[in-house]
Amino acid sequence: MSFMSKITTTLAVAAFSAAAIPASAAVVYSVTGDTSGGPVYNRPIADTPPTQISGTGTSVAYNTFLFSPIATGSYTFLLTSTNTAYDPFLVLYASPFNPALPLTNVIAANDDLQGSLALSGFTQTLLAGTVYTAVITGFNNFDFGTYQLTISNAAAVPEPATWGMMLAGFGMVGFGMRRRAKPSVRVTYA
């Protein structure tokens, strides 16, 4: 195999390996709390965006979490009930959130993620610098308790510095292959 075909094969294998690695989600926010004894409101129904208020969750206890992402992108929200009797419900608002106007500024609402009564969540594109309010509440008026809210951002494209380091590494592999001594074969005739 020639030197150039070795380099081409090495680069192709390295590029394939880099492409095969799944993008990992970076946890941006992790919040725990308890909605027991919190203020109440008539939450919206589950939808993106919701257009109606609920007939079941007419007076549900809630907590709020205000945040502002530093990067525009796709964010995954996962609300987990840590109390077995609590069916969590998650609502996302572009701030300001006003419990007296539950359909104003609402972006998304979800209940029973992946068929589980203990999970709620969704994936939503958020804009950097915009203030959002996550409202942690329950499905019906008797759903309240402890929870954990995790907001993650998947960074699928490597940063320019990462690309530079990868290219430098490929160059060093190529240089090492070129410098490697080729075995010499001596043929002697008697």
The CA distances from residue 104 to 111, 131, 133, 148, in Å, are 19, 15, 12, 25
pLDDT for the residue 149:
96
CA 75, CA 78: separation in Å to the nearest integer?
A: 10
Element (H, E) at 10: helix 3-20
Cα Dmax for the chain: 103
- The set of residues, in sequence order, having a beta carbon less than 8 Å from that of 59 and lying 6+ positions away, is 40, 41, 42, 141
pLDDT for the residue 167:
54
Residue type, 59: S
CA 124, CA 112: separation in Å to the nearest integer?
A: 17
Residue written as tokens 């996550």?
A: 134
| Per-residue pLDDT tens over the stretch 132-185 | 999 999 999 999 999 999 999 976 444 455 445 555 554 554 555 455 555 454
CA 87, CA 83: separation in Å to the nearest integer?
A: 9
The DSSP 8-state label assigned to residue 7 in this structure reads H
pLDDT for the residue 63:
96
**pTM score, two decimals?**
0.69
Is the pLDDT at 18 greater than 90, yes or no? no
pLDDT for the residue 24:
56
The DSSP 8-state label assigned to residue 150 in this structure reads E
- What are the percentages of helix, strand and coil residues in the chain, rounded to 5? 20, 35, 45
The domain limits of the chain are 25-154
CATH for 25-154? 2.60.120.380
pLDDT for the residue 145:
92
